[in-house]
Amino acid sequence: MVHPYALAGFLVAVLPLIATPGASLALLIQHVTGSGRRQALPVILGTVTGLYIHATLAIAGLSALVMHSSVAFSAVKLVGAVYLIGLGVWTWRSATPNATPVAHRPRPPRRSDSVYVQALLANVLNPKAAAIYLTLVPQFIAPHQPFSGQILALATAHALLIALWLAAWTFLVLRASHALRRPHFKQTAAKVTSAVLIALGVRSALT
C-alpha cells in the first residue's frame, strides 16, 4: 500500500503535467462542443484506460524495454506523432463546410466507442505518458514492498485526478452553451483542436 505522504507527493508532482494542455483536453473540447456533454465520458474513460495500460506495461517491464531501446522508443514516438497529426488533419477537414450548400440539418452524434478509441490511442501512443510510470512513479514507491499494488494505487490516483480535471473542463465548456450553438464557433473550436493535435504530433516527432 502506498504511504499517504507518497501518494500526496505524487499527485502534486503529476498535477502540472495534467494541467498542461494535451491531446485528451483537445479531444474533450472538440467532442463536447460538437455533440454535447455525453461525449465527455468516453474521452475521460479512454484517457483513464490508457493510464492503466501504461501502469500495466510498467509493471510487466515492457515500457522499460521501450524506454531503454532508442529504436523502440523512436518507433513509439513516430507512431504516436503520425496518429495525432492524422487525427488533427481529419478534424480540420471535418470542420470545413462543404462548398455546396446543404440544408441545415443536425450532425449525427459521434459514436461513443469511436470517441473512446480516439482518446485511448492518444494516451497509449504518447511515450511521455509511459515515461511518467518509468521515471516519476518509482520515486514514490517503497522498495521493500510489492510494487505492483503500489503502481496500481498511484495509477488510480492519477486517473481520478485527470478525470476530475477533464470533468471540470467539461463544466467550463458547457457554461458557454450559448456560444456552442453557433456553427461558426463549432467550426472555430474544431479547427483550434486540430491545430493543437497537429502541433502535439509535430512536437512529439521532433523531441
pLDDT tens for 81-95 read: 787 788 778 767 766
**Backbone phi, then psi, for 123, in 5-degree steps?**
-85, -45
Q: What is the mean predicted confidence (pLDDT) over 143-161? A: 89
Q: What is the pLDDT confidence band of residue 99, given thresholds at 50, 70 and 90?
A: very low
User: Which residue from 124, 118, 129, 155 is spatially nearest to 43, judged by alpha carbons?
Assistant: 118
pLDDT of residue 14: 87
Examine the pLDDT at 158 and tell me if it is beyond 60.
yes
Threshold 0.85, pTM exceeds: no
Q: What is the pLDDT confidence band of residue 140, given thresholds at 50, 70 and 90?
A: confident
Examine the pLDDT at 47 and tell me if it is beyond 60.
yes
- % residues pLDDT > 90 (the chain): 23
C-alpha cell at 180: 456552442
Give the residue, 76 or 18, on which the prediction is more confident: 18
Pick from 12-21, 63-72, 92-101, 137-146: least confident: 92-101
Counting Cα atoms < 13 Å in the Cβ hemisphere of 78 gives 6
C-alpha cell at 73: 522508443
User: Which residue from 42, 47, 56, 48 is spatially nearest to 23, judged by alpha carbons?
Assistant: 47
Q: How high does pLDDT run on average in the chain?
A: 79
C-alpha cell at 167: 470533468
Q: What is the mean predicted confidence (pLDDT) over 55-80? A: 76
pLDDT of residue 102: 41
- No. of helices (H) and no. of strands (E), the chain: 10, 0
Q: What is the mean predicted confidence (pLDDT) over 123-150? A: 82
- % residues pLDDT > 70 (the chain): 75
Examine the pLDDT at 162 and tell me if it is beyond 60.
yes
**Alpha carbon distance 155, 63 (integer Å):** 15
Other beta carbons within 10 Å of 108: 7
Q: What is the pLDDT confidence band of residue 119, given thresholds at 50, 70 and 90?
A: very high
What are the start-end ranges of the H helices in 23-68?
23-35, 40-60, 62-68
**Alpha carbon distance 61, 52 (integer Å):** 14
pLDDT of residue 73: 67
